[in-house]
Amino acid sequence: MNTTFTIPAHGVAIGANGLSEIQTALVESYYPIRICGAPTGAGKTYAFLQAARSGQFVVFVVPTQALAADIEQTCRKQNVSHRRWDAVESKKLASSGKDVYETRLSDVEELERTGGLLVTTPESLAQVLHGRYFFAGVPLRTSGLLGAADHLVFDEAHTYTERGFGFLSFWLTAIAYRSKIDPNTVKPKLTLLSATHSNLFEEWLKDKDVPPSSWIALDEHITEKPTPNFRWLHGDVQVSVTDVPILDLFFQYGEEKLLKNRRVLLLYDSLWAMLHDLKRLSSNLSAFGITKEEVFVVDAQDKQSAYTLGSESFRSGLEPEEHHRLIIGTSAIEMGVNYPDLTCAFLQPGIDAASLVQRIGRVARGNYRGEIFISSAGNEVPAHIVSMKDLSGIVPIEELRSRLSPLRTIHPTRAKALGSAYWSFLEQQPGHLRDFLVKAHGTLSTTSTPGGLLNAIRAKIKNGRSRHRRELETWLHGIDRALGSLRDFSPTVRVQFGMEANIVEYSRDWMERYVNCRAAVVSDDGVWRFPGPRDQFLRERPEPVIRYALHPFGPPIQIVVDHRPSNSTVQRFLSAPAVQSLSGEDRNLWELIEKFVRETGLLVFQHDDLPPGDSLVI
């Protein structure tokens, strides 16, 4: 497949206040809930930075630590008072001897008083909702945070999939409820931002749990014709789609770009593919007139170390510096991160159209010309790439978005089932939440209370006399643990590649799929220690993994998975021999559990006490 077209330069009109129409609406609209789908570069984040500068307290929720670091850096440059809550900042506080929860309580109190921006991740915000502060003896509650903030903003809202639906649904419900009982003093206003919204919000809102009068959909008016007061979002960008592998594309065209002192992005779909290419890239750098010191790597694993963990040892982390001319990374880069002077990118297609549009939006911010090379190499060309095959000439950004629509699609029935289960999980947390959840939902909706199915299972386990009570309680505990994990992150392990390397945390699933773990020795401290750099142990191709799903009526079920549990793995769980002989009360309980698992697709897995490579990897 070979396609070339140009996205023309485009921008927005600017008002007398220095903001575009959409930026003004985001800050000033009286609607308690705003859904904004403006394109990348439209200044959605900037609007809330200005609100924070003016003395308002903005809680700004972002999906990645890379984006949190990017926004923090912008706050510093623009002299906006700010605080950051994420795992990176927590480790800094702990290493300096400060109490993380006490510090965060002080952050809220100060920002409420002075105004400013609190940038955080869903996981860190969920700690308030899930009662972690309660257990730590720190008096910060969900109601207190909501009462303190003027704005609660979820950036890159398209990244919330079925698994995060309940979390997002809670905040939408909370704001809608507060606006209904006291429409004149709603605080905070809730905003969902994304250049590439999925069908999640449309599906949720059309159930009428949120009164139509409480929300508004906003979009920016984009034009290619500048007016007297105008801000360019992007310059002309030439897009080429080809079936040449990404690194070969870079070798073919990257030299010219780098020799012209242009900043270049090399963006992969998977960490494994990127790591395999880094070694080959390292041996060819001199041909591009670039040194190893001018290369920077951003990915979910090496961000923990100042240098990548393979033999090539490039600089790594979250924030490249001005002298870094070649930036290499994975999907963490695609979401909202802005690298100045980036005018050329070599991209793999991303998981879907939303991912690709986000990646395209990283290039030629402002009024600069840009070039993008998309590699569609692989056994199967993604559907969103196929839909671009006959594009040519000038293709406005809105036409491209329309051509690729739907940019991201989720399973609404499963999302609602998982959301309902999440509300059941919330009802088990300490504090006032149960009363609030019941009252809020009852005020807004005539449908059954969320959490009903899982609550019924809880009651039967608690009040029943099953001889399987221990297995049932263990399974239920695993379900709650899974529901509290908003994005289905697998358990991590501590890993060291070479005796002199840093000890870092890796996804256990990733390690067992892509690394020969039998080469590791597990020390008394639990660290998986490999005798050399990471690239020495990478597999030539990823392997399936055996996982053990906890079962409520018997031993764990062995399941082979290629990536995540599918319908076939769910069916294997439901067909376990242990359920064939159930009768009476246990049979009735199993029928509820079977319905719950079918609707949610939720399996929970045993990971403890299993050595690396020992009957886990096929």
What per-residue confidence (pLDDT) applies to 327? Answer: 93
Confidence category of residue 612, pLDDT binned at 50, 70, 90 = low
Residue range 154-197, pLDDT digits in tens = 998 888 888 888 898 889 888 888 888 887 777 899 999 887 66
Burial class (CB in 10 A: 0-12, 13-18, 19+), 21: middle
Give residue 615's pLDDT: 37
pLDDT of residue 204: 65
Mean pLDDT, to the nearest integer, of 307-322? 84
Can you read off the two tokens belonging to residue 335?
Answer: 């979401």
Confirm if 588 and 460 have CB atoms less than 8 A apart: yes
Decide if 258 contacts 345 (C-beta within 8 A): no
Q: Does the pLDDT at position 259 exceed 70?
A: no
Contact yes or no for 327/298 (Cβ under 8 A): yes
Q: Write down the pLDDT at residue 19.
A: 84
Q: Comparing C-alpha atoms, which of 174, 105, 97 is closest to residue 443? A: 174
Q: How many residues does the chain have?
A: 618
Of 188-202, 286-300, 469-483, least confident by mean pLDDT is: 188-202
> 132: burial class by Cβ within 10 Å (0-12, 13-18, 19+)?
middle
Using alpha carbons, list the distances in angstroms from residue 140 to 96, 383, 389.
22, 46, 53
Of the two residues 168 and 203, the one the predictor is more confident about is: 168
Q: Mean pLDDT throughout 301-320?
A: 81
The residue ranking higher by pLDDT, 255 or 512, is 512
User: What are the pLDDT digits (tens) for 381-437?
Assistant: 899 999 998 899 999 988 998 888 888 888 888 888 998 899 999 988 876 677 788
pTM: 0.85
Q: Beta-strand (E) ranges in 413-527?
A: 492-497, 503-507, 521-522
Q: What is the pLDDT of residues 343-356, one digit of tens each?
A: 999 999 998 888 89
Residues in contact with 81: Cβ distance below 8 Å, sequence separation at least 6, in sequence order: 52, 53, 75, 111, 114, 115, 116, 117
Report the pLDDT averaged over residues 587-596: 96
Least confident of 43-57, 73-87, 452-466, 598-612: 598-612
Please check the confidence at residue 14 and state whether its pLDDT lies above 50.
yes
Strand, coil or helix: what is 241? strand
The contacts of residue 76 (CB under 8 Å, 6+ apart) are 82
Q: Which of 391, 381, 310 is nearest to 6 (CA)?
A: 391
Give the pLDDT score at 618: 30
Q: For residue 153, what are the contacts with CB-CB under 8 A and spacing of at least 6?
A: 48, 58, 59, 60, 61, 190, 191, 193
Query: Which residue type does 595 have?
Result: K
- Top-ranked range on mean pLDDT: pick from 88-97, 100-109, 287-296: 100-109
pLDDT of 616 reads 39
Q: 373 Cβ partners below 8 Å, 6+ apart? A: 240, 242, 249, 250, 253, 345, 346, 347
Per-residue pLDDT tens digits for 434-460: 778 888 877 777 666 778 899 999 999
